[in-house]
């Protein structure tokens, strides 16, 4: 292991420059105009896989954004096959005015690299890639068979990627999936996530008259689409966040006593969270701690509202239509397509006379959970102990990586979430960053991971 540690140490500057070059590709999958940039990011990764000796490297077209595949399958049939997953796309960078630096300039300061994608997922994926590179450079062999699979649309739900996986189960067949795309529970507390929430993301439009109207002439005579929209949103939850859609909670798997005890032992510093976010109180479903609400209960959030006039001064207009985007994070046993149908039925029911409503599913993803006794999960625990010198805690994650549930159902493969991010990295927000010590230690930890995985008997 000393030779690999020396190799990783001596190549730190090159690793950082590679990350900077990767970051400078603005691969925003949500923007159709930037699809060429998503392809550029895919080709960037494919070229690097070829450089270190991976075979059958190819950028695959899909109905959405491109996927990248490559493999190294020379460890022998008795060794596990691990699918190394990551995503090449990033979130949109807006609002631009809240960034301290241009979002794709990759500014390094005070032990961090600041840029869109620095953590999610370009920096974290490269911890996997450079671990593989180091092993091949110094040992000329990997301890397990490895397939690398990268998608270009994780940030927009991955619908085409899911279809690709379902059409290519033999190409992607594996014993487990290794990925780095999650965060630690606290700054000094390594964490392995064993469960992710799913998601159901909708766009809702409320339409009224065939044109915008003068509020003095028509106000009080007709239903105002924006008033109706506000009333509809208000009926989605009660004052404590309980979702009012009939049947929404029917399939929710309850938290076990064992898990609730484990969450309590981890502890949640609610005071520190409020201070960090600059808020005066936490909020949510009663009878649960903040961690339980975030990790083990479904949620509902409005992401955007539009319609009418929002410019300077006054304009007394009744807008002809408005809309909003809303999502629910889902927990074990909830199906995103069933949840969409429940949303659709309820929204139609509560829409007042005088306006019409359109409900569209943008994307959905199922929840994912890995059993506590999984040997692959245990391998991750041992790798963290060796790489960071601390035993990691096992946590759930409130966010979603939709493809992990597809890997579980189609490939029958559990996912090992070796995340090196921190909540202070501000992913999806202005001034996203990634700690460089986690970038470098993550590479070494992933080397330990692959060595531990090699000990598992198929």
Q: Check if 89 is active-site.
A: yes
Quick one: 315 and 359 in the same domain?
Answer: yes
In a domain, 282, yes or no: no
- Residue 289 in any domain: the answer is no
Three-class DSSP labels, the chain: CHHHHHHHHHCHHHHHHHHHHHHCCCCECCCHHHHHHHHHHHHHHHHHHHHCCCEEEEEECCCCCCEEEEEECCCCCCCCEEEEEEECCECCCCCHHHCCCCCCCCEEECCEEECCCCCCCHHHHHHHHHHHHHHHHHHCCCCCEEEEEEECCHHHCCHHHHHHHHHCHHHHCCCEEEECCCECCECCECEEEEEECEEEEEEEEEECCCCCEEHHHHECCECCHHHHHHHHHHCCECCCCCECCCCCCCCCCCCCHHHHHHHHHHCCCHHHHHHHHCCCCCCCCCCCCHHHHHHHCCEEEEEEEEECCCCCCCCCEECCEEEEEEEEEECCCCCHHHHHHHHHHHHHHHCCCCCEEEEEEEEEECCEECCCCCHHHHHHHHHHHHHHCCCCEEEEECCCCHHHHHHHHHHCCCEEECCCECHHHCCCCCCCEEEHHHHHHHHHHHHHHHHHHCCCCC
**Local confidence pLDDT in tens for the 458 residues of the chain:** 899 999 999 999 999 999 999 999 999 999 999 999 999 999 999 999 999 999 999 999 999 999 999 999 999 999 999 999 999 999 999 999 999 999 999 999 999 999 999 999 999 999 999 999 999 999 999 999 999 999 999 999 899 999 999 999 999 999 999 999 999 988 889 999 999 999 999 999 999 999 999 999 999 999 999 999 999 999 999 999 999 999 999 999 999 898 899 888 887 789 989 999 999 999 999 999 999 999 999 999 999 999 999 999 999 999 999 999 999 999 999 999 999 999 999 999 999 999 999 999 999 999 999 988 999 999 999 999 999 999 999 999 898 888 999 999 999 999 999 999 999 999 999 999 999 999 999 999 999 999 999 999 98
**Nearest-angstrom CA–CA distance, 126 and 439:** 8
324 and 413 share one domain: no
CA distance 230 to 214: 20
Active site residue 276: no
CA distance 398 to 197: 6
In a domain, 440, yes or no: yes
Q: Is residue 439 in a domain?
A: yes
pLDDT at 245: 99
> Among the options 154, 175, 292, 397, which is catalytic?
154
**pLDDT for res 33:** 98
The enclosing domain of 98 has a CATH number of 3.40.630.10
107-109/356-365 β-pairing? unpaired
Are 37 and 99 found together in one domain? yes
307 contacts 323 by C-beta, under 8 angstroms = yes
Beta-carbon contacts of 395 under 8 Å, excluding residues fewer than 6 positions away, are: 185, 191, 192, 193, 194, 266, 295
**What was the pLDDT predicted at 333?**
93
- Annotated catalytic residue: which of 37, 89, 120, 397? 89
| Final residue in a domain of this structure, among 335, 365, 395 | 365
Range of the domain at 241: 198-252+298-365
Number of structural domains (the chain) is 2
Q: What is the pLDDT of residue 263?
A: 86
Write down the pLDDT at residue 36. Answer: 99
Q: Within this chain, do residues 208 and 324 fall inside the same structural domain, yes or no?
A: yes
């Amino acid at each position: 292991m000393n030779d690999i540690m020396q190799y990783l140490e001596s190549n730190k500057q090159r690793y950082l420059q590679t990350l900077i070059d990767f970051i400078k590709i603005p691969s925003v999958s949500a923007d159709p105009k930037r699809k060429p940039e998503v392809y550029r990011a895919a080709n960037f990764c494919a070229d690097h896989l070829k450089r270190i000796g991976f075979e059958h490297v190819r950028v695959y077209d899909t109905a959405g954004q491109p996927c990248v595949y490559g493999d190294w399958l020379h460890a022998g049939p008795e060794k596990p096959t691990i699918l190394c997953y990551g995503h090449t796309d990033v979130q949109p960078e807006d609002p631009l005015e809240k960034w301290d630096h241009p979002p794709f300039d990759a500014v390094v300061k005070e032990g961090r690299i600041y840029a869109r994608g620095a953590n999610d997922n370009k920096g974290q994926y490269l911890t996997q890639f450079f671990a593989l590179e180091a092993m091949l450079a110094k040992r000329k062999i990997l301890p397990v068979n490895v397939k690398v699979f990268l998608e270009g649309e994780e940030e927009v739900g991955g619908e085409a990627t899911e279809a690709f996986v379902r059409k290519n189960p033999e190409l992607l067949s594996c014993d487990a999936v290794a990925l780095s795309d999650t965060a630690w529970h606290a700054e000094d507390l390594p964490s392995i996530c064993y469960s992710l929430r799913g998601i159901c993301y909708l766009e809702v439009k409320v339409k009224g008259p065939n044109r915008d109207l003068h509020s003095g002439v028509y106000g009080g005579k007709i239903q105002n689409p924006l008033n109706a929209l506000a009333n509809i949103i208000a009926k989605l939850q009660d004052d404590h966040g309980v979702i009012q859609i009939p049947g929404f909670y029917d399939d929710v798997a309850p938290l076990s006593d064992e898990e609730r005890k484990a969450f309590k032992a981890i502890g949640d510093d609610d005071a520190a969270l409020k201070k960090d976010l600059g808020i005066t109180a936490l909020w949510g479903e009663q009878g649960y701690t903040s961690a339980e609400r975030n990790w083990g209960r479904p949620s509902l959030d409005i992401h955007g509202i539009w319609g009418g006039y929002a410019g300077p001064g006054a304009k007394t207009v009744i807008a002809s239509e408005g809309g909003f985007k809303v999502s629910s994070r889902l927990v074990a046993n909830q199906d995103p397509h069933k949840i969409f149908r429940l949303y659709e039925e309820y929204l139609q029911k509560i829409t007042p006379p005088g306006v019409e409503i359109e409900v569209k599913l943008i994307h959905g993803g199922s929840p994912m959970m890995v059993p506590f006794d999984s040997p692959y999960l245990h391998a991750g625990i041992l790798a963290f102990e060796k790489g960071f010198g601390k035993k990691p805690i096992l946590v759930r994650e409130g966010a979603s990586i939709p493809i992990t549930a597809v890997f579980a159902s189609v490939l029958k493969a559990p996912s090992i979430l070796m995340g090196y991010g921190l909540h202070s990295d501000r992913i999806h927000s202005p001034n996203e960053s990634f700690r460089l010590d986690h970038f470098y230690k993550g590479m070494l930890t992933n080397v330990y991971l692959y060595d531990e995985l090699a000990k598992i008997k198929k």
